[in-house]
Amino acid sequence: CPPLRQVLLAYGSGGVIGLFLVRFAEPAGGVDDALWVVSGDLPPAYFVTDEAPTPLEALALYCDLVDGWVETVLDHGDLDEAFPVETEPTEENAKALRVRLCSIRQLISPT
C-alpha cells in the first residue's frame, strides 16, 4: 500500500458499518489513487471508486458485490468467481450476511 494522503469517513452507522474514502499519495498498483474501504459488523472490503463515485453508490456496490458471494455460497457455486469475502463460506454465514445487507440497503434507501 502506498503512503496515505487522506482518509475520510464517507458514511457511518454506529457499530454497523463504516465507509471510508482512502486517498493515496501515489496511485496504488500504479493505477488507483483512491479506494473505498468498508468495515464494521460485516466482512471488510475495499474496491475502486470508478463504478461508485458517491458514498451511497459505494454502499450499494458493496451490497451487490457481497450479495453475489452470498448467492454463490447458497447455490454451492464456484467462489473463485465471486467477490472475495473474509468469512467461512457456510450457509449460516451467508444467510446472516444477507440480513445485514438488507439492513444496509434500508439505511441507504429507506423506501
| pTM for this model (two decimals) | 0.89
Element (H, E) at 61: helix 55-74
Q: Residue for cell digits 465507509? A: 19
Cα separation, 50 vs 9, in Å, equals: 18
* Res 66: pLDDT: 97
Confidence of residue 81 (pLDDT cuts 50, 70, 90): very high
Mean pLDDT of 7-16: 90
Tell me, what's the pLDDT at 111?
58
